[in-house]
Structures are given as structure tokens and as C-alpha cells.
A and B are shown apart, each in its own frame.
Chain A
């Protein structure tokens, strides 16, 4: 079974600075998807970024980018120019591509605080 580990329960950053959230995972599969979701106080789970394992290029979405290291099974999220609206719980998630096993497996989350 796949597992996802987020070793930083809490992180804080000054507004406009850069912060990196860590995630490692364990799998024996070669093809899969990885995601970062954010969950603000409203509890709505919002997609931040997606990475397909077969792609060597790291995904980027505006101020959000990932560092995907497939061999090391590492998937970190970098947030540049942090804004107050980035404050949320961030979840790393793994998704198998095997039919019938395509559930999301989540890490325990990292609570990100933005200091003005």
C-alpha cells in the first residue's frame, strides 16, 4: 500500500517570502499522479498543483512550483511571494493509476501561517 508523509506539521513564513513544504511517499508503482491540495479555514479542499510521474519537468502554477524527485520519492511544494490568502492546511496526495485503486492517499498535512 502507498503511504504519504509530511514531516512538518506547522510552518510559518513572512508575507512576500518563499516557503517550501516537504512531502515523501512510498510506492512500488512506476506511473502515478501527485497532488498538492490546500484547505483554508472554510474546509473547502482546493487543488494547488498536479504532477504526473512520467513527466520529468516539474509542474508550475503561477507562484506555486514543485520539486519532484522520483528516485528519492520526494515531492516538495514551493510557494513564492507568499500572500495572506495562502494561509491554510496543505495536503500532499498520491493517486495510483491502477483501475479500481485510484483513491487519493493523503499525508497528514502541514499548517502554513503567513505573518504580515
Chain B
């Protein structure tokens, strides 16, 4: 099976812009989670989707949003970008609730 894919892999934006990141889970996986990784804060949970429903949300401002489509693909959106949003954004998928999460290669976002 193909692994989790994320597009784009690299992105450069300027402050105030918005960005959309995409994640395609492993075939058959219905749960998708997003994490932000920065040198200062480490790995932090953003949100989790299961069958198109957001089941859990981390402690991030409302500028961060996401959704999941019927084919389990997920997108996350960040509006009004700030310098501090520069990070590696990781997507992970799992088949069911209690299954192991498998990660994609990440999207490196740089905000100038």
C-alpha cells in the first residue's frame, strides 16, 4: 500500500496570506490527524478527523481549520499567516480508533 502523502512538500508564504495543505491517508484509513512541529514547541496536536467529523481539536487559534472529505482525504487551512506559523506540518492516518498512526513526509511551511 502507498503511504500517507502530503502536498505540497514545501511552501513559502508571506504574513497575512492564507495557505491550504493537503493529506491523503493510506488506502482504507478513515482517521486523519494533523500535528505542528517547531523547534521551540515540539510536536503539537492540531486536529483529528474520522469519517468527515472533527473529533478532537488542539489548543490553536481559530485561524487554523481543517476538514475531511468522503474519500478520507483531509485539508488544513491557516488564514492570516503569522511568522510563528512557520513549521513542519505532519499528517497521520490510522484505520480505526485504536490503531497506530502512520505519518506522511510533512509539509514545510515558511512564513516571511
Chain A contact residues, CB within 8 Å of chain B: 33, 35, 37, 42-47, 50, 91, 95, 97, 99-109
**With a CB–CB cut-off of 8 A, which chain B residues contact A46?**
103
- Which chain A residue shows the least CB distance to B33? A103
Chain B contact residues, CB within 8 Å of chain A: 33, 35, 42-43, 45, 48, 55-56, 58, 88, 90, 92, 97-98, 100-106, 108
* A42 with B56, Cβ < 8 A, contacts A47-B100, A97-B98, A102-B97 known: no
**With a CB–CB cut-off of 8 A, which chain B residues contact A42?**
105
Taking a contact as CB atoms under 8 Å apart, the answer to whether B56 and A102 are in contact is yes
- Which chain A residue shows the least CB distance to B98? A97
- Which chain B residue shows the least CB distance to A6? B42
Taking a contact as CB atoms under 8 Å apart, the answer to whether B42 and A103 are in contact is no
Main secondary structure of the interface of A (DSSP, over half): loop
Taking a contact as CB atoms under 8 Å apart, the answer to whether B98 and A103 are in contact is no
Q: What 6 A-B pairs have minimum CB-CB distances, sorted nearest first?
A: A45-B103, A103-B45, A106-B43, A44-B105, A100-B55, A108-B42
Taking a contact as CB atoms under 8 Å apart, the answer to whether B42 and A47 are in contact is no
Please, could you name 12 A-B residue pairs with CB atoms under 8 Å apart, sorted by A? A35-B100, A42-B105, A43-B105, A44-B106, A45-B90, A46-B103, A91-B43, A99-B55, A103-B58, A104-B33, A106-B42, A107-B42
CB distance from B99 to the nearest CB of A (A): 9
Taking a contact as CB atoms under 8 Å apart, the answer to whether B100 and A50 are in contact is yes
**With a CB–CB cut-off of 8 A, which chain B residues contact A97?**
97-98
* A109 with B42, Cβ < 8 A, contacts A43-B106, A102-B48, A102-B97 known: yes
